[in-house]
Structure 1
Amino acid sequence: MDTIFIREFKADAWVGIYDWEKLRPQTLELEIEIGIPGDAAGKSDDIHDTVHYGMVVERFTAELAQKRFGLLEALAEHLAGIVTGEFKAPWVRISVAKLGHIRNVRKVGVTIERGRAAKG
């Protein structure tokens, strides 16, 4: 399976379980891999045969500005559902990290994988 990747995507999001985390959005860093089946887009050169990564970034940015999450796991699950549901991707891996959240730690986060990646 071919993949589209989106690296070092930064977005502000309302996420956290502590009172101080609920006062303002936090900047998160996302790493996203999206499975695209077959080689249709490479052969057709048509955006309709693939997942439009610009639309994914726009959709995620809008969603993260509006919704509130307690856990990064829930946030990642929600975003994965958008990719597999709205964008019809068969597989997605999403890493979400809080930056500088813990002293002496640059990033802390979670990675989830949903759907079925083709073996090969």
Structure 2
Amino acid sequence: MDRIAVRGLRARGHHGVFDHERRDGQDFVIDVVLAVDTRAAARTDDLTQTVHYGEISDRLVDVVRGEPLNLIETLAERLAAVCLAEPRVAEVEVTVHKPQAPIPHPFDDVTVTIQRRRHEQLG
């Protein structure tokens, strides 16, 4: 499978287990790598034969801005479901970055990365 990636997609959300995270919100950064067969799109030069990464990015941002969740693991799962709702996406890798996580020590980033396949969503 070919890969289409969107990396560094930023949106403000209110996810976390602490009251201040839900109240104040924080920035989340999303990376998705979509497994897609791009041969038909390449052959025809037709956007309808591939995944429109602008539209899928809009839907991913809507999820991050949407319902507050306790865990970024849950957020990653919901983002994967958005990607797999695209018929041409066979597999997705989602990384959720939480660079402002409430850790009282210097750190660069906290991430959760998941991989999901279409057949797993159907079961």
State the aligned residue count.
Answer: 115
Listed one character per residue, the Cα deviations across residues 48-94 of structure 1 (whole Å, up to 9, x for unaligned) are 11111000111111222222111000000001001102x12110000
Question: So what's the TM-score if we normalise by structure 2?
Answer: 0.87
Quick check: which one's helix share is greater? 2
**Partner amino acid, structure 1, of 2:13:** A
Secondary structure of residue in 1 paired with 2:108: strand
**Partner amino acid, structure 2, of 1:25:** G
**Partner amino acid, structure 2, of 1:83:** C
Q: 1:100 to 1:24 in 2, by over 3 A?
A: closer
Counterpart selection for 1:111 from 110, 113, 116: 113
**Partner amino acid, structure 2, of 1:58:** D
Kindly indicate whether residue 7 of structure 2 is the aligned counterpart of residue 7 of structure 1: yes
Quick check: which one's strand share is greater? 1
Secondary structure of residue in 1 paired with 2:7: strand
Gaps of 5+ in 2: 119-123
Gaps of 5+ in 1: none
Q: How do 1:1-120 and structure 2 match up within 5 A?
A: 1-85=1-85, 87-88=86-87, 89-101=89-101, 102=103, 103-115=105-117
Question: So what's the TM-score if we normalise by structure 1?
Answer: 0.89
Q: CA deviation at 1:38?
A: 4.9
Q: Hey, what's the Cα distance between the residues in 2 that align with 1:5 and 1:107?
A: 20
Secondary structure of residue in 1 paired with 2:17: coil
Once the two structures are aligned, what percentage of the paired residues are identical?
31
**Partner amino acid, structure 2, of 1:111:** T
- Contact kept, 8 Å, 2:6 with 2:31, in 1: the verdict is yes
Q: Which runs of 4+ in 1 moved over 6 A?
A: none
